[in-house]
Structure 1
Amino acid sequence: MDRAIVHMDLDTFFVSCERRNNSELNGIPLIIGGGDRGVVASCSYEARKFGVRSAMPIRMALKLCPDAKIIRGDHELYSNLSHLVTEIIQEKVPVMEKASIDEFYLDLSGMDKFFGCYQWTTEIAEAVKKEAGLPISFALSTNKTVSKIGTGEAKPLGKLEIKEALVKPFLNPLSIKKIPMVGNVTFQLLSRIGIRTIQTLSEMPVHMLQQMIGKNGTELWKKANGIDENPVIPYSERKSISTERTFTNDTMDIVALKGLIAGMAEQLAYQLRKEKWLTSTVTLKIRYANFDTETKQCRVAYTAVDHTLSRVALDLFEKLYTRRMRLRLVGLRFTNLVHGQHQMDLFEDTEELINLYQSMDYLKNRFGSNAVGRAAGFNVLKV
């Protein structure tokens, strides 16, 4: 059976959410982000024409586009609209993967027997625009890689179908930058030997790519040739990561308990980033010495950063630990996970903080998860 894989992407999602609620923002250069020392979380197409891009320092963005309007951003609005779009799409397709806060993959394989897949996807996009008030683009093809590249070419507010016979003619003239796994380092490396288009990359011997970029060489060659067997992974709200600590001696040492919770949040947040997850729900559990167990949870904007998740976890502890009794267990769980890179906290992050996280993760990846961390997280209780 021929595969029919769709990639759907909400156009300039944060900008579109703001314009949905305020039509006066339409048509003007718009930047969503933090203050003067912050970075750009998202920007409108009008701002992109001046060279503004995501993760750029706000000060640099304003030099390029001094007339741009800056909006700090509304975490709750973006999360709520993302959930709304997820529900709209999920109700209409057999298999859906939520790749990030604003990206979705659909597996419509076999549905041509009952519906035209392209027409069906068009109707889904129209439903999103009508019910959520947000613009969305999509591409339909034989696999995830080609459909994702197709969506990028279709934007804004576009739709594209790339049938199997047209995959190579579609990919060949495009820049290798269009391939999802090609970052700046890989692009510069390949550019130095004259590989700038996908066609040139597809014609390279696989063993040469392996020698140049390691084990990812084969995967990159496959993508350049329009080959991608990765399945669409069904979305589930039940996915979670968690940790808990049972104490040898029951305790009511508040300082130590808070240090433990901060350390838990830091370790789980690192796991999120390492596995490319974002969470939108934090749940704290405590168990008293008499075995009474209580939990409390909080919804947050999709994130994977320590300082946000630690703050939320500690706030939950303050609200949950109301009895002057010893505790025998503390647990922390992050749920409602979606695949994606750190993005939502760009509203609060400074360029220095983003660099700090990148450096910390590098050290943890190389020397182990306990190689570096915040001081509060090392103040933990012995078990």
Structure 2
Amino acid sequence: MEQPKKLLIIGFVWPEPNSSAAGSRMMQLISIFQEHSFEITFASPALDSNFMVDLSQFGVHKKAIELNSPTFDIFIKELNPAVVLFDRFMIEEQFGWRVSENCPNAIRILDTEDLHCLRTARQKAFKEKRTFELTDLLSEEVAKREIASILRCDLSYIISEVEIEILKNVFKIDSSLLQYLPFLVDEMNEEDLRKLPSFNERNNFIFIGNFLHEPNWNTVQYLNEEIWPAIRAQFPEAVLEVYGAYPSQKALQLHQPKNGFLIKGRAEDANEVVKKARVVLAPIRFGAGLKGKLLEAMQCGTPSATTTIGSEAMHPNLPWNGFVENDPHEFAKKAIELYQNENLWKNSQKSGIAIINQCYQKNKYAVELIEAINNLLQNSETHRLHNFMGSLLQHHTLKSTKYMSKWIEAKNKN
């Protein structure tokens, strides 16, 4: 039997699969590594939350760690992992140099979740009421940090093919440092659809998304101010249920039962509420990566109405499971049609299954993921030799980050 290899995941937060797509993705990654004989320790400097998953139930060791503390050096030396996975670039900045110093042979992998610099630059352009240009990324402060982090790692998981192209063409990152890794789900067929609630068993529109995520909160505001009034003007009985973890007081104040606009807060089981809804509304105006809520809608057999940003990189050349529309009035009109036209709704469901089966095949990408890891474990020296910019940044950043961290460490002692 294959000997377990040790994998250390350093999380930005403890996984909350019911609160965010990032939490679901992390659990997908954990299951793939476990299926291939990795023994996993999940460490994080974050505080525990009431909604975090119980990692011990999944056979994962949990370890609380501190920022700017030599206790991490002792911990990682003793653990001596073969592979370290950083959850987002901010974690690599904090712990990457300590990993390099204490376990220089460990393979360092970055899971970007989405390109933060792309999301930030698009958000700025949106707020400044101008068109986003790819060249905006070159002056984005967070881009310098994120790209440096990608270069310092042996491999980065990129969730969107659009982002792979940006990294290669705008930032000139070598493709040997990037691995396309979308959401990973099981295949579906039309028999699976028949087990789900039918058109007539479903009611209401739904939006679902963590309120701490700025693109989600902006979408709820947009629904409230423009999209929903346009839908209600043509379809007065319509009801929209807005679900999401961590709603703010501002969000709760948007609850207007007489207008059919209901703020429901955290869903106990996101899958269940999406299965009961007839149409998902997601008029997302800025963001990056792939939208977990829209893939979840497909899995639940729930057609969705979204924008170009919402559907970006999610359905290469395949019909959407609903429609993609940027104009708010057209969006409202098509949302009503999708809600009321049973044939259109059923065909949209089938389009969702085709997208799942062609674009998010867990088995296909899991095999590629493990092959890449094994290849790095066998050829890390050659791989690193060809990543000169990475070793250059590793050398200088290790020094600067190290001494900043040492200074904080010393300050904390006093």
Task: State the TM bucket, normalised to the shorter chain.
Answer: under 0.3
When normalised by structure 1's length, the TM-score is 0.26
TM-score normalised to structure 2 length = 0.25
In terms of fraction of residues, the more strand-rich structure is 1
